[in-house]
Amino acid sequence: MGQIGRPSPVLLLLAAFSRHRAALDWARQRASEAWGSIVRESEAFEFSQTRYYEPTMGAGLRKTFFAFEPLIDPARLVERKLQTNAWEAEYAGRGGHGESRPLNLDPGYVALGKLVLASTKDFCHRIYLDRGIYAEVTLHYRHHRWESHPWTFADYQRDDYQQFFSECRDDLHHRLREEGRT
C-alpha cells in the first residue's frame, strides 16, 4: 500500500484573453490583489487558432499569462476557477463593451511534470474535482520539453507559449530546490 502524502506546491497561472487591453489590465489588477504579486507575465499573444470565441468575445483576441508569487496546493484550483468565473461575470456586468463576454479567465498551474487547466466543461479527458469544476493535464513535461495530447488546445501547442511555461517551470524548480522539496 502506498503512503499518503502532501503534493508539492505548484505555480499558479492565469490565462486572460480579450480584445480589450483594458480588460486584460483589469484582470491583472484583480488577480494580483487577490492572489499575490505576479512574478512572470507573458506578452499579449495574438489568439487566432480558432474562431470559437468570436460570437461572444469578438475578433482580434489577445491572450496573456500571469504567474503568481505564492506557490499553492493544487487542490485550491477549484476555488481559483470559481473565483475567475465570478470575476468574468463582474467585468461583463460593468458594461462598456459590446460583447457578452469581453473577458475570458482560465486558471491553471505549472507543476514540474505538467501544466493543468481548470474547466467547467466535462470531457473524456477531464477529471471532476469538486463544485462543478474539472481539470485536465493540458501539457506534460518530458525530455526537457513540453509535449501535447490529442486534446491539447491548438494555442497551447505554440512554441512561444511553451517557452513561457518553461520559464515558469524553471522558476518553480528553483524555488522547490531552495525549499528542499526536490
Residue 11: per-residue pLDDT: 98
CA angle 60, 27, 99 (to 5 degrees): 45
* Cell numbers given for 161: 507559449
pLDDT in tens, 148-181: 999 999 999 999 999 999 999 999 999 999 988 7
CA 60 to chain centre: 20
* Cell numbers given for 153: 488546445
Find all residues with CB under 8 Å of 80, minimum gap 6, and list them: 12, 35, 72, 107, 118
Task: State the average pLDDT for the chain.
Answer: 96
Residue 79: per-residue pLDDT: 98
- Put simply, whether the predicted model's pTM sits higher than 0.75 gets the answer yes
Q: Are 139 and 166 in contact (CB under 8 A)?
A: no
CB neighbours (10 Å) of residue 82?
17
Residue 132: per-residue pLDDT: 98
Query: Dihedral of CA 17/23/28/30: which sign?
Result: negative
User: Residue 128 class from Cβ within 10 Å (0-12 exposed, 13-18 middle, 19+ buried)?
Assistant: exposed
% of the chain beyond a pLDDT of 70:
100
pLDDT in tens, 40-68: 999 999 999 999 999 999 999 999 999 99
Quick check: helix, strand or coil at residue 89? helix
Q: Which of 75, 94, 103, 89 is nearest to 14 (CA)?
A: 103
Rounded average pLDDT over 6-34? 97
Q: Are 27 and 103 in contact (CB under 8 A)?
A: yes
